[in-house]
Amino acid sequence: MMNCLRLRHLLSASVLMLVLSSGPLLAQTDVEEEVSEKTPIPLSQIRTFAEIFTRIKLNYVEAISDEQLLEYAIEGMLSGLDPHSVYLKGERYNDLNEGTTGAFSGLGMEVIMEDGFVKVVAPIDDTPAAEAGIMTGDLIIRMDGKTVTGLNLSEATERMRGEPGTKITITILRESEPDPFDVELTRALVRLNSVKRKRLNDSIGYLRVTQFQIATAENFRKELKQLRESDGFEGLIIDLRNNPGGLLTSAISVADVFIDEGLIVSTKGRLGTNDQDYRATPSDFLDGKPLVVLINGGSASASEIVAGALQDHGRALILGTDSFGKGSVQTVLNIDDKEAIKLTTARYYTPNGRSIQAAGIKPDVFVEYREFKDREKGFKRIKEDDLPGRLDNDSGKKESLEKPTKKQEEARELLARDYQLNEAFNLLNGLILFNHKTKKQESISTSLDKPKSQ
């Protein structure tokens, strides 16, 4: 009993000294010092913590080190705040820059913890997860037969990581399926090209952004320049579906490509140091040409910043379904050269002051994901040309259609299998035609208004 009391008193004193000594380390700004001075140290809770710590040390079924217990306490403290605040140590700390540099070994999906399960925010293009058909909103309830209940986010993602070529079986719970089902995935070295470019026809370009990494904004401008300088270019579709986000600075730079003035996004936190306004520079790479942005439930964080800014400025029409709703800012605070915490420090707000958090971006044109019916299997309608004895066209022979190029065929196939993209394509075509008619009408009105010489 005497040893138990001595351990408890020693631990209480140690924890108290740790809390007291941590003040100067954390109070790096005048604001933080002021908050620290106004917040009394909760001595009763510290004593409770020391008591629980002691009882675990003495009574737990297996011996456990002080370091491990304290690490569990830190992880629990952060995970209790929100799904995005985490403790980074060891491999987790070394892997900190993977998402921003675009290379890692694993399955290729952005995940969070929800109700004790791993929830998929979005699968990443051209990765094992995407190729296996993993979908936004899927709940991973088991990995290799072992439940994920009780794991924190870092532990769950560590299980999904591994050497390229190794396999893992995950059990998925999907809203549209009556029962859980297993999916076997082979881990791979994922190298992400965050921007992809296509021409959908002579006048419409398409840019797919899979994540917002360090080089995304620069690559986005390069690919847009290729489209803009091609003959006949008149409009652009930006695809942000299943884009889980990334760097705030990268998202701001992409939005700034099309917005020539005003606010792009603002952040507001409890401390004044986290309040920031990010404004556009005077340039629009498209010179006002029409723009359609695709989003869905897998569009999160940085994707929502871009979509919200373009929507509030009236610079683009947003098409698809409601976005994910992650409107919080995480800041990495280094503890030393081997560990850090990623802490939620602020919320995002669109130019009109809308909070993205748990609300997301609502599209201007709501279009759910659907699959096209195979047109070859459908009934072929009879046309005038099929009728016996029909009149010939008096303008001469029918115009012979040129055989489409390989790129044109690829674009047609892409549109034929992607309902939402096809709807965006039709919408953008309509905007382009409307602009043509408006300009033609303005030209006619101007010529009518000119005084005639007598």
* Predicted confidence (pLDDT) per residue in 424-444, tens digit: 999 999 999 998 888 777 776
Distance from C-alpha of 46 to C-alpha of 41, rounded to nearest angstrom? 9
Instruction: Give pLDDT tens digits for 346-393.
Output: 999 999 999 999 999 999 999 998 876 655 555 567 777 778 877 887
Highest mean pLDDT among 25-29, 99-103, 117-121: 117-121
Instruction: Give pLDDT tens digits for 132-151.
Output: 999 989 999 999 999 998 88
Q: Which two tokens stand for residue 420?
A: 């939402």
Distance from C-alpha of 161 to C-alpha of 381, rounded to nearest angstrom? 53
Q: Which two tokens stand for residue 434?
A: 């409307």
2 band by pLDDT with thresholds 50, 70 and 90: very low
Query: What is the CATH number assigned to the segment(s) 195-366?
Result: 3.90.226.10
Q: Residue 16: what pLDDT?
A: 44
Q: Is 238 helix (H, G, I), strand (E, B) or coil?
A: strand
Q: Residue 224: what pLDDT?
A: 97
Distance from C-alpha of 452 to C-alpha of 290, rounded to nearest angstrom? 36
Q: What does pTM read for this prediction?
A: 0.79
Question: Whole-number mean pLDDT of the chain?
Answer: 85
Contact present, 248 and 329 (Cβ < 8 Å): yes
Distance from C-alpha of 138 to C-alpha of 144, rounded to nearest angstrom? 17
The class (CATH top level) of 103-191 is mainly beta
Lowest mean pLDDT across 265-269, 274-278, 377-381 = 377-381
Q: How far is CA 426 from the centre of its chain?
A: 25
Per-residue pLDDT, averaged over 210-237, amounts to 94
Contact present, 344 and 269 (Cβ < 8 Å): no
Q: Residue 401: what pLDDT?
A: 54
18 band by pLDDT with thresholds 50, 70 and 90: very low
Contact present, 166 and 183 (Cβ < 8 Å): no
* Residue 35 confidence (pLDDT) above 60: no
Return the active site residues: 301, 312, 326
* Residue 311 confidence (pLDDT) above 80: yes
* Residue 319 confidence (pLDDT) above 50: yes
Q: Residue 39: what pLDDT?
A: 66
96 band by pLDDT with thresholds 50, 70 and 90: low
Per-residue pLDDT, averaged over 40-60, amounts to 91
* Residue 31 confidence (pLDDT) above 50: no
Distance from C-alpha of 385 to C-alpha of 393, rounded to nearest angstrom? 10
Per-residue pLDDT, averaged over 55-75, amounts to 94
- Return all residues near 132 (Cβ < 8 A) that are at least 6 apart: 183, 184, 185
Q: Residue 306: what pLDDT?
A: 98
Lowest mean pLDDT across 89-93, 224-228, 411-415, 443-447 = 443-447
Residue 348, amino acid:
Y
Q: Residue 19: what pLDDT?
A: 43
Lowest mean pLDDT across 23-37, 164-178, 186-200, 363-377 = 23-37
Q: Residue 155: what pLDDT?
A: 85
21 band by pLDDT with thresholds 50, 70 and 90: very low
Per-residue pLDDT, averaged over 293-307, amounts to 96
The residue with greater pLDDT, 373 or 126, is 126
Backbone angles phi, psi at 53, to 5 degrees: -55, -45
188 forms beta bridges with 106
Distance from C-alpha of 332 to C-alpha of 335, rounded to nearest angstrom? 10
Distance from C-alpha of 200 to C-alpha of 412, rounded to nearest angstrom? 7
Q: Is 406 helix (H, G, I), strand (E, B) or coil?
A: helix
DSSP 418: -
Question: Cα-atom radius of gyration of the chain, to the nearest Å?
Answer: 28
Contact present, 326 and 295 (Cβ < 8 Å): no
The residue with greater pLDDT, 24 or 160, is 160
Q: Which helix (H) or strand (E) holds 52?
A: helix 43-59
82 band by pLDDT with thresholds 50, 70 and 90: very high
Q: Where in the chain is the domain with CATH 3.90.226.10?
A: 195-366
The residue with greater pLDDT, 385 or 88, is 88
Residues in the chain: 454
Strands 117-123 and 109-114: antiparallel
Q: Where in the chain is the domain with CATH 2.30.42.10?
A: 103-191
* Residue 343 confidence (pLDDT) above 90: yes
* Residue 55 confidence (pLDDT) above 90: yes
Best CA proximity match to 301, nearest among 100, 440, 454, 435: 100
Strands 204-209 and 235-239: parallel
Q: Is 101 helix (H, G, I), strand (E, B) or coil?
A: helix
Per-residue pLDDT, averaged over 210-217, amounts to 92
Q: Residue 23: what pLDDT?
A: 40
Q: Is 56 helix (H, G, I), strand (E, B) or coil?
A: helix
Q: Which two tokens stand for residue 275?
A: 């309040």
